[in-house]
Amino acid sequence: MENQKYKKLEAYLSEILHRLQNQSDLLRFKDIAICITSEKTKNKNAQYNFPSDTIILGLEYLKKYAQKGEDAVAAIISHELSHKIFREKYSISGGKEEEIFADNYGLILCKKAGYNTNISLW
C-alpha cells in the first residue's frame, strides 16, 4: 500500500505510541501498530482498528495536530489508545461513554508520559 511513503513518520509516531503505551499496565506488552492513510475515511480522522490493533491516522488530520507540536499528536494517539484500554477493561463497545473515557484517560496517559496537557487542541 502506501507503507513506504510514510515509514519514517510512522516510526516517529510509534515512539510516541510506545511512550504512552508504557504508562498503562494493560497496554505495556501489547503489539499495537500505527498507520497513516491519505484516504478520506468517512468521518473518521483517527481510529483504533480492533481486529488488527492498529491506530489509523488520516494524513490531513495528523498534519493539523502536528502543527501544534508533539504534545498535540500525543493527545490524539492517547485518545485512540484509551479506546483499547476501555475494551480491555469492560469487554464491550461503549458508545458515547467510551468516547468520554477515551478523552479523560487519554489525558492521564499524556500526563504520565510527561506531555504537556495544557494545550489547546482546537
Which residues bind to Zn ion, rule: CB under 5 A? 99, 102
List, in order, residues 6 or more apart from 94 with CB less than 8 Å away: 86, 101
CB of 28 to Zn ion, least distance (A): 21
Q: Report the residue closest to Zn ion, judged by CB.
A: 102
Q: Which is nearer to Zn ion, 14 or 45 (CB)?
A: 45
64: left (phi over 0), alpha (psi -120 to 50) or beta: alpha
CB of 114 to Zn ion, least distance (A): 23
Q: Which is nearer to Zn ion, 7 or 93 (CB)?
A: 93
CB of 47 to Zn ion, least distance (A): 8
By C-alpha distance, which of 50, 62, 58 is closest to 16?
Answer: 62
Q: Which is nearer to Zn ion, 10 or 99 (CB)?
A: 99
114: left (phi over 0), alpha (psi -120 to 50) or beta: left
Q: Which is nearer to Zn ion, 19 or 79 (CB)?
A: 79
- How open is the CA angle 89-46-109, to the nearest 5 degrees? 45
CB of 116 to Zn ion, least distance (A): 21
Sign of the alpha-carbon torsion through 83, 91, 27, 14: negative
